[in-house]
């Protein structure tokens, strides 16, 4: 088994780290809020005081943080991962959903230190992470991916190889952009159904068996009907907005218009402005039921470029 470090023990990271530990790997973890690593430490992992300390002598490093800023901090900050003594050929596995530009920069930094970088954002919920049932969306060289499959198999049931480094992140941003549009459209449809006098529960059940169904639409429309946005938060408007903005940034660099994504981003920004950024993203129904119509800030002529 390998010496493995895991940096970022949040809702997803906790389950992923647990799978690595269960697979018999010698695991050291770091989390900015150390108490959150308590459950995995009780199972046998070691806790480190910094990313650098966690990664000393590791053969593979996994990272799962919220955004570019936190990722940059744990990899390149003082006492960051890349300050550790990592043997050439060690794996650097970044599982966070990040901007494409930062992933490519980080991959270059890792390669300069002789590390094998695996671009591996995930799809799945915290329960899937704990069960080892995530799907990994991988960008890596074929040789590096083959060499890392044993490690990756501990945290996933499926690995989809999209191409070289950056390809996995590109796909993740695309699919999360699509998801944001789907959820916003579903909220619009539910509000319209209610105004037309339809029973929202019947509508949500019908949507679940319709051509418009997707796991995200089904999950969120049912929570919209229940008004259940506060408990067991799966994904927040703030995190969804971050992903959409990264996706729009990628679209801009590729000179692709993304007007539907821009409209979804406007709705998510409004939720954050209203102080709903920490609730479940199903709270987007609030935009259509609160009397606060969204004033769209982007014209159809725009290219999808963001600052």
Instruction: With respect to residue 81, please indicate whether it lies within any of the assigned structural domains.
Output: yes
Going 161 to 243 to 129 to 110, the CA torsion angle's sign is positive
Q: What CA–CA distance (Å, rounded) separates 184 from 251?
A: 19
Neighbours of 244 (CB within 10 A): 27
Q: What is the pLDDT of residues 147-164, one digit of tens each?
A: 999 999 999 999 999 999
Residues 143 and 202 grouped into a single domain: no
Q: Where are the beta strands (DSSP E) in the chain?
A: 3-7, 26-30, 46-47, 60-63, 91-94, 116-119, 122-123, 134-139, 156-163
Residues 136 and 198 in one domain: no
Query: Which of 165, 191, 223 corresponds to the end of one domain?
Result: 165
Distance CA 37, CA 9 (A): 6
Verify that 234 and 248 share a domain, yes or no.
Answer: yes
**CB–CB of 85/115 below 8 Å?**
no
Within 77-166, residue ranges assigned H as helices are: 100-112, 126-131, 142-153
Residue where a domain stops, chosen among 165, 199, 216:
165
User: What is the residue range of 51's domain?
Assistant: 3-165
Grouping H, G, I as helix, E, B as strand and the rest as coil, residue 27 is strand
For residues 81 and 206, membership in a common domain is answered with: no
Q: What is the pLDDT of residues 70-99, one digit of tens each?
A: 999 999 999 999 999 999 999 999 999 999
Q: Read off the DSSP letter of residue 30.
A: E
**Per the structure, how many domains does the chain have?**
2
3-state secondary structure of 166: coil
Q: CATH number, domain at 193?
A: 1.10.1040.10
> 153: domain CATH number?
3.40.50.720
- The answer to whether the beta carbons of residues 140 and 150 sit under 8 Å apart is no
- What is the rounded CA–CA span in Å between residue 60 and residue 117? 10
What residues act catalytically?
172
Q: Indicate whether 66 and 12 sit together in one domain.
A: yes
Give tens-digit pLDDT for 169-189. 999 999 999 999 999 999 999
Q: Which residue has the tokens 């949507």?
A: 207
Together in a domain, 142 and 175:
no
Final residue before a domain boundary, out of 147, 165, 183: 165
Structure token pair of residue 51: 């990313």
Q: Is residue 197 part of a domain?
A: yes
Residue 295 lies in a domain: no
**pTM higher than the cut 0.85:** yes
């Amino acid at each position: 088994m390998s010496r493995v470090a895991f940096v970022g023990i949040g809702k997803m990271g906790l389950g992923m780290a647990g799978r690595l530990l269960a697979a018999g790997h010698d695991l050291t973890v770091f989390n900015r809020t150390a108490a959150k690593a308590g459950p995995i430490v009780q199972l046998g992992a070691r806790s480190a005081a910094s990313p650098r300390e966690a990664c000393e002598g590791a053969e593979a490093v996994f990272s799962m943080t919220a955004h570019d800023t936190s990722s940059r901090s744990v990899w390149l900050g003082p006492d960051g991962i890349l300050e550790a003594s990592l043997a050439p050929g060690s794996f650097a596995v970044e599982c966070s959903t990040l901007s494409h530009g930062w992933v490519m920069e980080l991959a270059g930094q890792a390669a300069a230190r002789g590390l094998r970088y695996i671009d591996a954002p995930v799809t799945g919920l915290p329960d899937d992470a704990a069960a080892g049932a995530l799907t990994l969306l991988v960008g890596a060289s074929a040789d590096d991916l083959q060499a890392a499959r044993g490690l990756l198999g501990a945290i996933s049931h499926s690995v989809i190889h999209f191409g070289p480094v950056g390809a996995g992140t590109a796909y993740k941003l695309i699919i999360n952009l699509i998801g944001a549009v789907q959820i916003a459209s579903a909220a619009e449809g539910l509000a319209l159904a209610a105004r037309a006098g339809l029973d929202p529960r019947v509508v949500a059940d019908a949507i679940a068996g319709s051509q418009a169904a997707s796991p995200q639409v089904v999950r969120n429309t049912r929570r919209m009907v229940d008004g259940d946005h506060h408990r067991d938060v799966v994904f927040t408007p703030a995190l969804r907005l971050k992903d959409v903005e990264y996706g729009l940034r990628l679209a801009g660099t590729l000179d692709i218009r993304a007007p539907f994504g821009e409209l979804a981003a406007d709705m998510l920004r409004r939720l954050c402005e209203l102080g709903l950024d920490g609730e479940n993203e199903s709270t987007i129904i609030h935009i259509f039921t609160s009397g606060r119509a969204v004033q769209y800030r982007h014209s159809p002529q725009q290219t999808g470029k963001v600052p």
